[in-house]
Structure 1
């Protein structure tokens, strides 16, 4: 509703002042019309936003003060005047993609938080491994030249200020597995896809997804401006037009959301593979499966990766393309599809799984970090903060136990972690 109101203010929808007031009354009183969460082909959100119009007229249900109640009851309680769509109100209420845009914003914000968490997780894995900082150094990244490359690498290194990794170690491998070496570039790719998605969304919510559209400041200096067919489209003044269009086409946004989803899939891939490397005693120099010295005969993390593997498979399935599929509707007039609602939902789900995979990785990295500290090694400023926050809810594994509570508690930490960003 906020997006719709913003687009009304831009002047492209041709909606009435009464419609704007009706939206504002619901927004200002926290009245939220209930809409289906699924079932849009992405050409427009016809089946979804229609419910907003019904609720504005008091003919549907809303969420108000935490309860589902009839819209008519809430309108009476708030003493709101009856609203009846007029002129272009009806078509503008139902022929747009505001729900898809809202779903996309929510998904992108979740993805953004997940990616902001990534540098400290990568840094903690490097400390767990006794890894090499070489791939993240400025002069290394400079030779690649990828967008966001320096930003991603420096964010990882910032979390390693004061870390033992900056000291020489004859036992440290010259080259780490690619899930460690490439993590910065893969994170940079996801950050760049995120940037483009945010730019597209900012453009979308400040323009319009209506059909038809109204433009009160149209250009009249183009080669076709004087064509007689344009006279049929003018609305009173030479530069005022009402035009048929398909502004609810979201192909570009759907493609970008899928690109971001695939990029996060790569971030998840490297996380899962780093986790499997950390239980290899030949690779880390620690006991196999990160078994604590006092855990005599213990299995440590011998089998925990099996459940992580199942989640990983679920995430990879979400990276498959969903745009372009659909059944022609409106007697075959609407036969193109973007399924942007579905792509937004998939992005949201893949970000959720990303957090879950990180919960497995951080269970391993914090175990290894504590084992390193027992050897007298110092962790970085950022990674130490992660360790302290995590240890508030997940203790060191000094004796075998079942790990489901640890994964769930760790997941909550990662989704809500608070620590000072090291620069």
Structure 2
């Protein structure tokens, strides 16, 4: 109310409105809708939006950890593909690498990085496009009725069927006022799009897990195997941490299975189609949660490698330095083998609340 969250009772009192008590079909029109599922969808989409906004700096940190090639993200490279959101995703990654050592020549740098690094921009672009489509449909949904029946006071009377006698039964007093049976609580379009966004997040999560497994390979990074610090003599480093990440990865991939269309006919069999929007919203929310957890593993690795490169005199990017400095306040550099559960949990909290710079 007037730009603020205010209890309805307070607003009614201020405006001198009497409480409204629904009855008959009014009660059905209020209850027989998808408003709750749409509210769940809003919450899930907002979580997915932050997860994707976080992705460019995570990808950039992985490139610095790997000593990766910026070539796949350059404007003239992306232009040759032409995918929607391709430039936006690539430039967001590169923006975090301003001032990075990756812009300097390095004879030891590979010409071709693993695809989880090379394709990260395109896969992020796909997810960003799905997010835009989902937000558009969700915005349409919440600004239109989900009632059944519906009342339209501005009906058109210039359709070829406008004078059909059957329409007389549907008019309510005036020529442009109609009460119609419908299925405006059907959200098949939105549910399909929510599933598409969930699958897109699954791809983002997928390549994050695979990048993490590449970062412990000394042949890929030129750093020590398992990112064992110099002072950690005989240590295992991150030798066994991928096993728990693999379990989370499996949980995430299982969320890509479709759930729309399932249901048991009700109301003596006349209600026999389903979109299960609430289930798609729940799965999108869970996929974002798994994505954050996988990122917690990846950033544990990337920051370790970034610090090791800084010890060798390498300069990190402006955006990735901000990530590294903030992360180090909650997760210290691994100088000695330790239990990593607290690090993953603290990293997860850090990433979920990470403030994305406006220019990214």
- TM-score normalised by L of structure 2: 0.95
Asked if 1:412 is matched to 2:342, the reply is no
Aligned residues: 352
Distance in 1, Cα, partners of 2:34 & 2:56: 34
Residue 26 of structure 1 and its aligned partner are, at CA, apart by 4.6
Distance in 2, Cα, partners of 1:275 & 1:124: 11
**Are the aligned partners of 1:382 and 1:421 in contact in 2 as well (CA < 8 Å)?**
no
**Are the aligned partners of 1:294 and 1:399 in contact in 2 as well (CA < 8 Å)?**
yes
Distance in 2, Cα, partners of 1:223 & 1:145: 43
Distance in 2, Cα, partners of 1:310 & 1:171: 34
1:234 paired residue number:
171
Distance 1:265 1:150, change over 3 A: same
* 1:62-73 matched pairs, under 5 angstroms: none
Distance in 2, Cα, partners of 1:225 & 1:379: 68
Distance 1:111 1:220, change over 3 A: same
1:381 paired residue number:
318
Residue 186 of structure 1 and its aligned partner are, at CA, apart by 0.3
Residue 85 of structure 1 and its aligned partner are, at CA, apart by 1.4
* 1:304-343 matched pairs, under 5 angstroms: 304-343=241-280
Asked if 1:186 is matched to 2:123, the reply is yes
1:357 paired residue number:
294
Asked if 1:285 is matched to 2:222, the reply is yes
Residue 88 of structure 1 and its aligned partner are, at CA, apart by 3.9
1:52 paired residue number:
none
* 1:119-158 matched pairs, under 5 angstroms: 119-158=56-95
Asked if 1:197 is matched to 2:134, the reply is yes
Match of 1:100 among 28, 37, 44: 37
Distance in 2, Cα, partners of 1:81 & 1:231: 34
* 1:39-54 matched pairs, under 5 angstroms: none
Distance in 1, Cα, partners of 2:10 & 2:120: 46
Where relative contact order (Cα < 8 A, 6+ residues apart) is larger, the structure is 2
- TM-score normalised by L of structure 1: 0.81
2:206 paired residue number:
269
Distance 1:212 1:205, change over 3 A: same
**Are the aligned partners of 1:160 and 1:382 in contact in 2 as well (CA < 8 Å)?**
yes
What whole-Å deviation, never above 9, does each CA across 1:167-213 have from its counterpart, x for those lacking one? 00000000000000000000000000000000001100111111101
What whole-Å deviation, never above 9, does each CA across 1:135-178 have from its counterpart, x for those lacking one? 00000000000000000000000000000000000000000000
Asked if 1:212 is matched to 2:156, the reply is no
**Are the aligned partners of 2:56 and 2:92 in contact in 1 as well (CA < 8 Å)?**
yes
What whole-Å deviation, never above 9, does each CA across 1:381-418 have from its counterpart, x for those lacking one? 00000000000000000111000000000001001113
Which structure 1 segments of 5+ residues have no match? Answer: 3-23, 31-79
Residue 84 of structure 1 and its aligned partner are, at CA, apart by 2.7
2:197 paired residue number:
260
Residue 92 of structure 1 and its aligned partner are, at CA, apart by 1.5
1:250 paired residue number:
187
1:391 paired residue number:
328
What whole-Å deviation, never above 9, does each CA across 1:306-346 have from its counterpart, x for those lacking one? 00000000000001000011100000000000111000000
Which structure 2 segments of 5+ residues have no match? Answer: 12-16
1:20 paired residue number:
none
- Partner of 1:239, secondary structure, is strand
**Are the aligned partners of 1:120 and 1:386 in contact in 2 as well (CA < 8 Å)?**
yes
1:301 paired residue number:
238
Match of 2:162 among 203, 225, 228: 225
Distance in 1, Cα, partners of 2:21 & 2:319: 57
Root mean square deviation, CA, Å: 1.6
